[in-house]
Structure formats: C-alpha cells, structure tokens
Amino acid sequence: MIPLDVLGNAIVMTVVITVSSFLIGAILGVPLVLLRTSRFGVVRVLTRALIDVLRGVPPVVWIFILYFGVSSDVIKLDPLTAAIGGLGVISCAYLAEIYRGGLLSVHAGQTEAAQALGFGQVGIFTRIVAPQAFRVCLPSAATYGIGLLKDSSLASTIGVAEIAFRATAQARSGGDGITPFVIAGVLYIALSMPLAYLSRTLDTKLRMKVSV
C-alpha cells in the first residue's frame, strides 16, 4: 500500500495545481473579457483570436510547451510551475468566455438605469453589471473547476507527484495493477464533490434572491 503521508502529499499537490491554475484563470480572465468586449473592433477580434489559440491547444501540450519549450537555459521552470502555468493559460481563456456569457446575460436596461442615476462606466461595471454577471457565471465556473481538477492529472506526465502520478508509480511497482487507479478515481470524485455541492447551493440561494 502507499504510505499515508505520501498519499496526503499527492492530494495536496492535486489541490494546489487545481486551485492555483483556477485562480490564475479567474484573475487574468477579467482583463481578457474586458478586452474581448472592448468598444474597439480590432481589440475584440485580436482578443478573440488569442482566446481561440489558448483554448485550441490541448492542456498537455501547453504543459509540455512550458516545461520543455519555454523552460530553457534562461528561465528554469520546475514541473509544478509548468503544470500550473499550462493549465492557468487555458483557464484564463475559458473563464474569460464564461465571464462574457455572464456579462451578456445582464439586461441592457440595467446599464441604462444606472446611467440615468449618474453612475460612470466604472461604477456601472463594479456595482451593477459584474455582481449580476458573477451569479450567472458561478455554475459554469464551478463546472470548469471540476474539469480542471481532472486535468490536473496531466501534471503527472512531467513528474509532478500528484494523485495520478502516485497511482501510476504504485501500479508499476508491481502487485495489483488496478487498485491504485480505483483509489485515485475515488479521490478525484471525493475532491470534486464539495465544489459541486457548493456551486449547487450557492446557485439555488442566489436564484431565489435574484431571479425574475
């Protein structure tokens, strides 16, 4: 059997990769969506192209690009950083699109009402539009987060000692080949459950308050 502390470290590693890359996406997704919905057509088109490129390349390829490509003599990226960076890059693109859906769902009358009250652009965004868009985004963002949790297993390909990596190592070290992967699967499900639950309860709560 895998020693408990090794298992614990593997779980922590999976959580660190998932949470960090999600946060990178959640934060960098904001400027990205602002550019994506810019007043200027050129900016919109360029941002859209960028988002398509970021999303078009599979996660494992991004991780390899960062680990074997970018990581050269000049910059040295350790496996963990490369994994977080690779998944983070994709997350900003996906979350920017999720944000955009949320922003589009806010009725134009909201902006007009705020304008008529004398709010400026910044106030309209921060006080009126973004909070409403956020509620709409929540379920899709949580679903994306669960996807990201599963994608974090790709970090095993460059040797990050997270759950999938440990399961593979254990299976190879002989004995029973299936049990480590069953345990890994159970762990992934267990980790995703709180997220799914949180998203569902928050969603219902906010819906009760807000829906029209």
Partner 1 sequence: MISVANLKKSYGDHTVLDGVSIEIQRGEVVAMIGPSGAGKSTLLRCLNLLERPDSGRITIGDTVVDLPAKIPVRTLETLRKTAGMVFQSFNLFPHLSVLRNVSLAQEYVLGRDAKAAHQRSMELLERVGLADKAGSYPARLSGGQQQRIAIARALAMEPEVMLFDEPTSALDPELGLDVLAVMRELAASGMTMVVVTHEIHFAQDVSDRVVMMADGGIIEQGDPAQVLSSPANPRTQRFLKAVIDR
* Residue choice 42, 75, 178, 212 for contact with partner 1 (CB under 8 A): 212
The C-alpha atoms of residue 113 and residue 109 are separated, in whole angstroms, by 6
Half-sphere exposure at residue 199, Cβ-oriented, CA atoms within 13 angstroms: 17
CB closer to partner 1, 196 vs 203: 203
* Residue choice 31, 131, 159, 175 for contact with partner 1 (CB under 8 A): 131
The C-alpha atoms of residue 16 and residue 24 are separated, in whole angstroms, by 12
- Render the chain in DSSP notation, one character per residue: ---HHHHHHHHHHHHHHHHHHHHHHHHHHHHHHHHHT-SSHHHHHHHHHHHHHHHHS-HHHHHHIIIIII-SSSS---HHHHHHHHHHHHHHHHHHHHHHHHHHHS-HHHHHHHHHTT--HHHIIIIIIHHHHHHHHHHHHHHHHHHHHHHGGGGGGGT--SHHHHHHHHHHTSS-SSHHHHHHHHHHHHHHHHHHHHHHHHHHHHHHHH--
CB closer to partner 1, 41 vs 109: 109
Q: Give yes or no for residue 147 binding partner 1 (CB under 8 A).
A: no
* Residue choice 132, 152, 192, 199 for contact with partner 1 (CB under 8 A): 132
CB closer to partner 1, 123 vs 147: 123
The distance of closest approach from Cβ of residue 198 to partner 1 in the complex, given in angstroms and rounded to an integer, is: 19
The answer to whether 98 touches 147, Cβ cutoff 8 Å, is no
Residue count, binding to partner 1 (CB under 8 A): 22
The distance of closest approach from Cβ of residue 111 to partner 1 in the complex, given in angstroms and rounded to an integer, is: 9
The distance of closest approach from Cβ of residue 7 to partner 1 in the complex, given in angstroms and rounded to an integer, is: 42
The distance of closest approach from Cβ of residue 40 to partner 1 in the complex, given in angstroms and rounded to an integer, is: 18
The distance of closest approach from Cβ of residue 204 to partner 1 in the complex, given in angstroms and rounded to an integer, is: 14
The C-alpha atoms of residue 57 and residue 152 are separated, in whole angstroms, by 16
* Residue choice 66, 77, 80, 128 for contact with partner 1 (CB under 8 A): 128
CB closer to partner 1, 121 vs 201: 121
What binding mask, one character per residue, do residues 85-124 give for partner 1 by CB under 8 A, x or -? ----------------------x-xx-xxxxxxxxx--x-
Q: Give yes or no for residue 32 binding partner 1 (CB under 8 A).
A: no
Q: Which residues bind partner 1 (CB under 8 A)?
A: 107, 109-110, 112-120, 123, 127-128, 131-132, 135, 209-212
